Amino acid sequence: MSAIKLIVGLGNPGAEYETTRHNAGFWWCDALAAREGARWSKDAKLFGWVAKASGVWLLKPSTFMNRSGRAVAALANFYRITADQILVAHDELDLLPGISKLKFGGGHAGHNGLRDIHAQLGTPEYHRLRIGIGHPRSLNLNQEVVDFVLHAPSREHQQAIDAEIDRSLPLFADFAAGEIMQATMKLHTKP
């Protein structure tokens, strides 16, 4: 399997969105950059903030979520990175806070960021790190999904998400080495 050459964190730009569940992909990429000592710089041509860690590009699109594919395609095309060499970290409604899963390919399940990446790359055949944020129904909340993802999680759920992000960061070495199956086994095996 190909080594990962581009890791994309999905989120919405702007201070008003920083703490919202929809920015879980940004949180993961920020934590990875901090761990690896990578520095972000804004690149208007690539429609996002970029950094490099151990030969792997990191990207946080500066477009809003529903236009994320524009940044992903721009960087992938410029550096000749194929879809199977891309990992997208994103919020996942179908997993509870504190759980994350790796997946390759498949549908976008209504996630507007993934929908646009599918369209811009012309394929769904890329890796995803699905960071659980829960669903209003599974968390017994009387809230519409759109409202839910654009609000901050409770302190308890934020702690669970943060702990899972910390647990998954060491997988970066496996991603960079192309050891995706090994990373998947590590991530899906909870201590």
Q: Indicate if 22 belongs to the active site.
A: yes
Secondary structure string (H, E, C) spanning 160-174: HHHHHHHHHHHHHHH
Q: What are phi and psi of 130, to 5 degrees?
A: -90, 110
Report residue 18 as tokens.
């920083």
Query: Catalytic: which of 22, 111, 118, 157?
Result: 22
Pairing mode of beta strands 41-43, 127-132? unpaired
H or E element in which residue 28 lies: helix 24-36
Q: What is the CA radius of gyration of the chain?
A: 15
In sequence order, what E strands does 84-179 have? 86-92, 100-104, 127-132
| DSSP helix/strand/coil, 131 | strand
Residue whose pair of structure tokens reads 């910390």 in the numeric block: 166
Total count of residues recorded for the chain: 191
CA distances from 15 to 18, 23, 64, 165, 169 (A): 5, 11, 13, 21, 24
The catalytic site residues sit at: 22
